[in-house]
Amino acid sequence: MYGSLWRHLPGPVWVRVGILVVVAAAVVAVCFLWVFPEIAPLIPFNDITVD
């Protein structure tokens, strides 16, 4: 998976590394801002109300 991703990226090594760093930062941002806040309430280790 990652091997073929690396082979399909264009440009010299430093360009490929740069692209991957940007993609990784984007994945972290999407997770922190949208994905994790959505799934956190489904994980019941942080319930604080009586109901």
Partner 1 sequence: MTVGQDAERLAPAHRRSAEPGAPAHRASSVIAAVVGLVGELLITLGVLLGLFVVWQLWWTDVAANRQQTEVVADLGWAVSPDRPAPSPEPSAPEPVHRTDPAPVMAEPAHATTFATLHVPRWGADYLRPISQGTTRRDVLDVLGLGHYEGTAMPGAIGNFAVAGHRTTYGKPLNRIEELVVGDPLVVQTEQAWYVYRVTETLTVGPRQVEVILPVPSQPEVAPTQAVMTLTTCHPMYSAGQRYIVHAVLDYWMPTADGVPPEITGGA
Q: How far apart are CA 39 and CA 44, in angstroms?
A: 10
Coil, strand or helix: which one is 10?
coil
In one letter, which amino acid is 12? P
Instruction: Write out the binding residues for partner 1, residues 12-51 only, by CB under 8 A.
Output: 28, 31-32, 36-37, 39-41, 44-51
The yes or no reply on residue 2 touching partner 1 (CB under 8 A) is yes
Cα–Cα distance between 36 and 25 in angstroms, integer? 15
Is 7 one of the binding residues for partner 1 (CB under 8 A)?
no
Shortest spacing between CB 12 and partner 1, in angstroms: 24
Tell me how many residues contact partner 1 (CB under 8 A). 18
